[in-house]
Structure 1
Amino acid sequence: MEANISVTASPFIQDLVGNILEKLRICAMPTFLQLIQGLIIIKKNPNVLTTDMHFGTVPVRLFKPKKVSCEPRRGIIIYHGGGAVIGSLDCYHGLGSYLASETDSVVLMVGYCKLPAYHHPILVNDCLNASIYFLKNLESFGVDSSRLVLCGESIGGWAVANVIQVLVSTPTLPRIQAQVLIQPILNFINFQLPSHQQSQYVPFLTRDIMFTCICKYLDIDLSWKDAILTGAVIPLDKWKKYRKWLSYENIPRKFWSQDLQPEFFATFNEAAYLETKHVWSPEISPVLADDKIIAQLPKTFLVSCEHDILRDDALLYKKRLEDQSVPVSWYHVEDGFHGCLMFFEWKFLSFPCSVNIVDSVVSYIKSI
């Protein structure tokens, strides 16, 4: 496993300095965090050939085992995390290299456009366009069209859920055999789920950070934050229609804490709803996709972490898929927290949960 990515400051210090600079109007937090990423040092895996290129305007990085193979290899497409603010090909270089080496696969990592310059739907469009180009040229990359995996973490998992819904409706392209969603965000509507109550202050994704990223990416004014949090943006007719997929009643009881507050929405605010109603689109909240789309999805591997505000999004999606008879494998990390995957190879920030997640993903992919 590679272990040579280092930065000059811990994520806690980066966050603190970034907030100070933003309050002083010296530099926006997203810009500061993106500058910090430039300090990352990468050590290449001697067993993996890495190639940077562009598919159109989208930067991608291809990882391929140097060992010669007589047969086409499995293909893995990865969308990294980072809340559309941070995260990059360099930040997740170790993950791509490790997956290529350990699963003997050709790995394509997509470097999509992010905040503050770009907003929805650029992230998904970049991921979709890069993936389609790759799928149309598998032979030139030495990839077996019958062994394809789509993988993403955090907002990258959200991108997977979006892209796969488009791909299953495009029969002219090779079929994805499995999707891997690691700590994904899949619901932009109900923020009263148990995990939102239990882990709202847990780093590295607190409720405030999550809402700032969501609102900035979806171009929603932050003044509507309280209306979104309290459910004042949820019309009664829509809640009646989608409650069966969005309510915390779909979360297994073992994940309910003793101090769990009841699911209670504030008085409907029509102005707030009109400003945020696009979150009801399946392109933004993938869990709302029609049954006929969900039923076509490939077998799925879901990773959730106990100390993660997004834990219950994975659980809602798990039930949604299972109700349509989609085969689901689920790996729950009791000591995991959001964003831990990015640190799996950082010696000074090594967490057992990070290694466990990567190893579980490797094990699953090797079965494809």
Structure 2
Amino acid sequence: MMKLLCGGVIFTLVLSYYIYMPLPASVSEPWKLMLVGATFRTATHLADLSHSLGLVHHVRVLNLAVTSFESFVPLEFEDLQTEDTEFHGVQVRVYMPQRRDSTLRRAVVFIHGGGWSLGVPKLGSYDLLCRKMAVKLNAVVVTVDYRMVPDVHFPVQYEECLQAARHFLQPDVLARYSVDPERVAVCGDSAGGNLAAAITQWIGQDSRDNDVRNSSVDHLKNDSRDDVQDSSEGGGIRFKLQVLIYPVLQPLDFNTASYQQNWGVPILYRDLMARYWLEYLGADASLLHTVLLNNHTALDESRADPHRSKVDWTSMIPQHMRKHYRAVFPRTGSPSVLRDVPAMLDPRAAPLLAEQEILKMVPGTYIMTCEHDVLRDDGMMYVRRLELAGVSVTHRHYDDCFHGCVSFAFWPSYFFVGIRAIDDYIAWLHTHL
């Protein structure tokens, strides 16, 4: 009996040691976050072990764990009609409220996060989130089930989200779902925020180019050129708004103040975010240590020079958030990285690197950032760049929030800060969309 008791005490102590981790005093519901963090760490360790033994890619193990967890989330908001279909060959689910009237509805295109690798958009928390948006906004919600790592890499995820969005924005498709073409928004969290920002930039630029072409056509028509064809068919509709929830926007600096401050805060650790980037861009995993040191953007790397001001967090985030942290850019580094992985400088992968002329075409924006998140400064720099481009930006920062909180706003992982964050951005959409 004494041995059993001692064994129980030792097991409890070991378990407590494994679960416990020091967290910032201001983080919301720290013990819940410790439990979630320990669960995710366990899944990550098992995935890495399986990968190292050559059994299965670690992402597949993690996705299995995510799917198993999401299956416990109960279905709510059942008064909806759902349709699983394809938009230009891309899998999507369309949520349509049962309540109908003669007026056209608003709509939201939702793109899920998960490091371009994880996530089950038609199950669990993301499914419930889309249902909640559809009911609260009385809106048509489209969730994009894009393919992910390890099956595909950049630019496939970007292209599939763009294809699905462009298909939905066609006048005949919007009419089929009774959607007002002037009231369509795009929303995404984390890597989904990255994809949402990137496709919004492209659609804004494409709409501008289409307007220019149409203006030229009208001018030529006025000159009685009968042989001129109208190029306006099938184009011109753009998003009215975008909502970016703790978006990941750049891979050039893994030592921003928020990366330095929150490197070990669950659920998104600094080294894990760098791994996600390398896998998304199809880069060699052995580059992890190099990019964590910012050797890929060392001061002698001329390829990075045109973009340095776009990721200069020392001038774009407030002093009270910079605290004592300093920029980390070695004098000499590894110039082969940007040569071998040029997508690191591609605005389709890193929307923060877009030129100012492109940002001017971005619609009204809501950006959510969390204090205890390595990606905090990505979002804050984008807020500043959009403001400088003349874009109307609503920035909501949560001092007690952590990365991924929106996915933990439903039972069994019930964080009140996640519920508050969801309610806040839905209220903003209700007012502005």
Q: Which category of TM-score, normalised to the shorter sequence, fits these structures? A: over 0.9
Which range moved further: 353-362 or 82-91?
Answer: 82-91
* Contact 1:233/1:276, CA 8 A, preserved across alignment: no
Aligned residue in 1 for 2:223: none
CA apart distance, 1:73: 0.6
Aligned length: 359
Residue pairs, 1:209-288, within 5 angstroms: 209-234=272-297, 235-249=300-314, 250-258=316-324, 260-288=325-353
Any unmatched runs of 5+ in structure 2? 1-35, 208-234
Which range moved further: 132-141 or 348-357?
Answer: 348-357
Aligned residue in 1 for 2:419: 355
Looking at structure 2, the residues matched to 50 and 343 of structure 1 have their Cα atoms a distance apart, in angstroms, of: 23
Looking at structure 2, the residues matched to 244 and 214 of structure 1 have their Cα atoms a distance apart, in angstroms, of: 21
* Contact 2:372/2:402, CA 8 A, preserved across alignment: yes
Aligned residue in 1 for 2:93: 61
Aligned to 1:179, which of 239, 242, 247? 242
CA apart distance, 1:277: 3.0
Aligned residue in 2 for 1:142: 178
Specify the SS of the correspondent of 2:242.
strand
Higher Cα radius of gyration:
2
Aligned to 1:128, which of 162, 166, 188? 162
Looking at structure 2, the residues matched to 301 and 320 of structure 1 have their Cα atoms a distance apart, in angstroms, of: 14
Aligned residue in 1 for 2:259: 196
Question: 1:179 corresponds to which letter in structure 2?
Answer: Q
Question: 1:216 corresponds to which letter in structure 2?
Answer: E
Aligned residue in 2 for 1:74: 106
Aligned residue in 1 for 2:17: none
Looking at structure 1, the residues matched to 45 and 413 of structure 2 have their Cα atoms a distance apart, in angstroms, of: 18
Looking at structure 2, the residues matched to 333 and 229 of structure 1 have their Cα atoms a distance apart, in angstroms, of: 26
Cα 1:262/1:119, change in 2 over 3 Å:
closer
Question: 1:105 corresponds to which letter in structure 2?
Answer: A
* Contact 1:190/1:247, CA 8 A, preserved across alignment: no
Residue pairs, 1:23-172, within 5 angstroms: 23-39=52-68, 40-41=70-71, 43-89=75-121, 90-91=123-124, 92-136=126-170, 137-171=173-207, 172=235
* Contact 2:155/2:349, CA 8 A, preserved across alignment: no
Which range moved further: 166-175 or 317-326?
Answer: 166-175
CA apart distance, 1:17: 2.8
- TM-score using structure 2 length: 0.79
Aligned residue in 2 for 1:4: none
Higher helix share: 2
* Contact 2:274/2:292, CA 8 A, preserved across alignment: no
Question: 2:283 corresponds to which letter in structure 1?
Answer: I
Partner deviation per Cα, 1:126-156 (whole Å, 9 max, x = no partner)? 1011111111110001111111101000010
* Contact 2:204/2:362, CA 8 A, preserved across alignment: yes
Looking at structure 2, the residues matched to 240 and 110 of structure 1 have their Cα atoms a distance apart, in angstroms, of: 35
**C-alpha RMSD of the superposition:** 1.9
* Contact 1:230/1:266, CA 8 A, preserved across alignment: no
Looking at structure 2, the residues matched to 46 and 217 of structure 1 have their Cα atoms a distance apart, in angstroms, of: 35
Cα 1:236/1:35, change in 2 over 3 Å:
closer
Question: 2:43 corresponds to which letter in structure 1?
Answer: Q
Partner deviation per Cα, 1:273-307 (whole Å, 9 max, x = no partner)? 31233311211221121211111110100000111
Partner deviation per Cα, 1:246-290 (whole Å, 9 max, x = no partner)? 1121221111233x2443324132223312333112112211212
Which range moved further: 281-290 or 300-309?
Answer: 281-290
Cα 1:10/1:222, change in 2 over 3 Å:
closer
CA apart distance, 1:13: 3.6
- TM-score using structure 1 length: 0.92
Partner deviation per Cα, 1:34-71 (whole Å, 9 max, x = no partner)? 22344333525222222211224311111111112221
Looking at structure 1, the residues matched to 422 and 257 of structure 2 have their Cα atoms a distance apart, in angstroms, of: 26
Cα 1:13/1:223, change in 2 over 3 Å:
closer
Question: 1:31 corresponds to which letter in structure 2?
Answer: R
Any unmatched runs of 5+ in structure 1? 1-6
CA apart distance, 1:335: 1.4
Give aligned-pair identity as a percent: 29
